[in-house]
Amino acid sequence: MARKKYLDGLRGLAALGVVAFHSSSFFSAATWTETFGDVPNLVLSRFINGNFMVCIFFLLSGYVLTIPRAANPAIPSGYWGELIICRYFRLTPVALVSVILLYILWGGIGIPNASMTDYGPGFAWMKNEYMFTPTLYDAAYNGIIGIYTGNFKYDLVLWTLRVELIGSVLLFCMFALFPKIKSFIISSSILSIIIVFLHYGGYLKYGIYICLFFIGALVHLTSLTIKQPRVNIFFLLALWLASISIYTPEGKWIAHTFSISSSQMDAIVHSIGAILLLLTVLSSKRFQKILCIKPILWLGKISFSVYAIHSVIIFTIALHIFILLMPLYQIRMAGLITYLFIFVASLILAEICRYSLTAFRKMVFPLAD
């Protein structure tokens, strides 16, 4: 079964959305917070939400990782064990590059996060980050093992890789244990319900996100789509759910009514939105054609690298640029210029990283692809 290229395009746009969200949080919303309070965050979340984009990542992973199973139901159980190893070597090199890059930049130009508090309360949270002394060994250990045990001190966005590995391992194990589609659907549904209860009981922090792997697999195996007249409705519903956050009236109402935390509310609402968006894309030739435009497909190729590296750029080079621009421009103009720099630098470094690691992986770990 051929890989559906438009899904790579969707992943690319999601990665770009995460960069836009984090960059806007730092250098747009944060610079307006002192004057307008939570209003900038409300406006930002209405247009773009990083957590929603991450839900798309997890859902797509479940869908795409099911391709071998959908193509060949008679795959031997041992094959899934090999894929677990390959999955680790697929995820880890990019993570290792990002933490080593941060270590190098930290040692070379430093991380001026503490001084950012001088530019407004929107940056106050930064002063508590990177309050440790980095070493090359510690950075390498963090990129190879630490991120999978819950330590994301070098690159804050790498928490998703832990979810990616756990979700992938559970999915492959379920395929090995339940080779028949019907038994897989029943067992994975039961497991997902258990995971949801553990999540809301406070025993499994990323439970909802892990369930997205099984939902993505179920959508693939059942070839689930929606009828054409409903595509636009599903798309609008997905956009609306994507715009909900703890800053919006709907988000506050949901969290209060169901007595859940803001992170739990984000997880469930954005997961539903991501599912609706995937069904929209799978059911619409128009959306598929748009997502297959060459620049968007290129974003799909570098999506993983863009996601892993952009946070490193923000906390190192971008902060220095922002501070250097402050004497020359007003804070919002300095923020806008820095915002644009983050985009350009992330895309360039991500392409270099992707090209280098692809060549290395094909040479050393050919099965990982």
The pLDDT of residue 1 is: 47
Can you list the residues of the chain whose pLDDT is less than 50? 1
State pLDDT tens for residues 235-275.
999 999 999 988 888 999 999 998 888 989 999 999 999 99
The pLDDT of residue 187 is: 93
What the block records as the tokens of 351 is: 């392409």
The pLDDT of residue 38 is: 59
Count of the separate structural domains present in the chain: 1
pTM of the model: 0.91
Q: Domain of residue 347: give its range.
A: 5-368
The pLDDT of residue 304 is: 93
Rounded CA gap, 138 and 141, in Å? 5
